[in-house]
Structure 1
C-alpha cells in the first residue's frame, strides 16, 4: 500500500544531512538528533498518563525507570529494552513507549538503560539486558508482583535484545509469559529484499544499518571477527538452532522498513517451532512507527494493535 501520508510528510521535514555518517563524532550528533525528534519536539502534556514514574538501579549498576499503572497489584511486569541500533536511545527517548505500554496493559513497565556502543560494544548490551531481566524476575514483589506474568520486549535493537533474552531465559529455565518484538533485527549478516527495496528514503536506511552494526560489533564488515559475531544467535536470533519452547511472541514489522523481511522470517520461524505468535506486517508504515502516535493515526492504530495483542497473550 502507499506510504502513509502523515509519515511521508514527517520524512520530508527531516534534514537528511543529519543522518549518521562515517565519522565517529557522528555518534553524538545522531544521539542529539534522536533526542530532538523524540523528546524536545514533544509537548510533555501529550504523554500518556500513568500512576507513578520512579528511577531505580537494577542489579547494583543498571539504571532503569519504573512506570506503574493505576491498577492495583498484582499486575504483569514488562522489562522494556529501547531501540536505537545499540548506539542511540535512553530512558527519555523511549519514555512514551514505556508510558503507552503501562497504560494499555495495566502493567508495571521497567525501562532499562543498557550500555551503548561504541563506548561499550557487544556483548555489553546483551549482558545488561539479561541481567536486568533476571534481576526483575528475582524481585517480583518490587514490581508487578505476579511472577507468572513477566514479559520482555522492545523495539528495533531492543527487540533484538528481547529475542535474545527470551532464548536465553528458556535455556535457563526462566519462565516468561510473552516477548514483544517490534521491528527487530534478527539476522544481521543476512541478505533480504527489504534491505534493497527500503534502503533509502524511509527513515532508517540500509547505510545506517551498517553504521550501527559496525559500531556495535566494533569492527568493519570485512573483519572476520565481525562476520563471526554477526552469525552469533546473541546478535542474530534467527540463527539459533532451536526455537521450540520459547515464550509466546508479538512480532510487528513495517512495510517500508529495511528490517521487514528478517522480522517476518523470525515470526515464521517461531511459528514453525510451535511457538504461539501474534504477527502483523503494517502496511504504509516505516521503521520507528511505534512511538509516532502523535504524527500518524495509522501509527497510533498499529501501536494499539500491538499492545492489545500483547495483553491477550499475558491475560
Structure 2
C-alpha cells in the first residue's frame, strides 16, 4: 500500500526546515527529552470514553542491588478475561523511552485485553548497556509471576522492548509464558536485512539509527553473538505462541517476517500482522493516525484470540 497520507505529511513536515537532526547526533539527555515530547500528548475524548484503567507505580528490588520501578495498570472492572497479566517492555532503541512515553499504549493494552499490565522502567544504555536492561526485564517478569500467580502471563514489548521481551522468553523459560507479543522487534544485530531494506532511510527510523542503537546497547561487538541479542539465530524451539507485528515501511519489517518464518520452522505457533502503509513507531501514534489505531486493534485481537477465553 502507499504510505499512509497522514504519515507522509508528518515526514514532510519534519523535513520542511531541512533534514532534522537525528537523535543519534544529539546528547543522550536531549534525545530522550525529544522522544518523550513526541510520544506524550493529552488524553483525547476517545481515551476518556474507553474503559477505566487504574495505574499505580511500584518499587521492587532489581538486579545487582538496584531498585526497579514498575507501573501496574489494572482495568476497572477486570472483566471476564481477568485471568491475564502482561509484562510490558517499552521501546526507544534501548536508550530512550520510559514509563511515561508508553503510558497510553499500556492503558490501551490493559483495556483491550482485560489484563493487568506491568510496565517496566528498565535501565537504559549507554549508562547501563547489555546485559543490564535484559536483567531488569527478567527480574520484572519474575516479579509479575510472583505477584499475579496462576494468570496467563504474556511477555510483550515494542521495538527495543520487543527484543528484551524475546530475550527474556529465551532466558527465563521456566516462567512458562502463555504468549508473546512482539511489536516491530529488532532481532539481528548484523543488520543484514535492515541495510538491504527498501525503507532503510526516509521513514523516521533508519539503518543508521539502528546501528547507533546497537552501538549504545551492546558496545562490545563480541557480545552481539549472544543468543539474547542475536535473536534471529537463537534456539526458538519451545517458545510460547507469538504475535509479531511489523510495519510495511519499517526497515525492521523483513526481520520481523523472517523471525516468524524461523519460529514456525522451530515448531512455534507464530502469527504475523503487517501494518500496511505504516512506519516504525505506529504504536505511539494511535491518537493521531487512525490507521495506526486500527492496526494496533488488529494486533491485540490476534493476541486475544491466541490466549482464548
TM-score norm. by structure 2 comes to 0.91
What is the CA RMSD across the aligned residues, in angstroms?
Answer: 1.7
Q: Distance in 1 between matches of 2:230 and 2:237?
A: 17
**Residue 77 of structure 1 corresponds to which residue in structure 2?**
85
Alpha-carbon offset, residue 45 of structure 1: 4.1
User: Which aligned pairs between 1:1-315 and structure 2 lie closer than 5 A?
Assistant: 1-14=1-14, 16-22=19-25, 26-39=27-40, 42-46=41-45, 47=47, 49-59=51-61, 61-72=67-78, 74-140=82-148, 147-170=150-173, 173-192=174-193, 195-218=196-219, 225-226=220-221, 228-240=222-234, 242-315=235-308
Which runs of 5 or more residues in structure 1 are unaligned? Answer: 141-145, 219-224
Partner Cα distance (2:30, 2:176) in 1: 40
Q: Tell me by how many angstroms 1:169 deviates.
A: 2.5
Q: In structure 1, the residue corresponding to 2:273 is in which secondary structure? A: strand
- Indicate conservation of the 8 Å contact 2:191/2:211, yes or no: no
Distance 1:110 1:4, change over 3 A: same
In 2, Cα distance between equivalents of 1:125 and 1:21: 19
Alignment check: 8 A CA contact 2:72 2:117 kept = yes
- Whether the 8 Å contact between 2:68 and 2:122 is mirrored in structure 1 is yes
Deviation at 1:65, TM superposition (A): 0.6
SS in 1 for 2:20: helix
Structure 1 residue 161, shift from structure 2 partner? 0.5
Counterpart CA distance in 2 for 1:257 and 1:247 is 25
Query: 2: distance between equivalents of 1:312 and 1:71?
Result: 20
Q: Deviations over 1:59-96 (max 9, x none)?
A: 35110111101234743110000000000000000001
**8 Å contact kept, 2:155–2:165:** yes
8 Å contact from structure 1 (residues 81, 129) kept in 2: yes
Residue 222 of structure 1 is matched in structure 2 by none
**Contact 1:49-1:99 within 8 A present in 2 as well:** no
Mapped contact 1:79–1:151 kept (Cα < 8 A): yes
Distance across 1 between alignment mates of 2:179 and 2:131: 23
Quick one: distance in 1 between partners of 2:130 and 2:262? 25
Question: Aligned partners of 1:175, 1:297: CA distance in 2, in Å?
Answer: 35
**Structure 1 residues 286-314: Cα deviation after superposition (integer angstroms, max 9, x where no partner):** 00011211221111110001111111122
Q: Distance in 1 between matches of 2:268 and 2:77?
A: 30
Structure 1 range deviating more: 4-13 or 249-258: 4-13
Question: Whole-Å Cα distance in 2 between the matches of residues 193 and 92 of structure 1?
Answer: 29
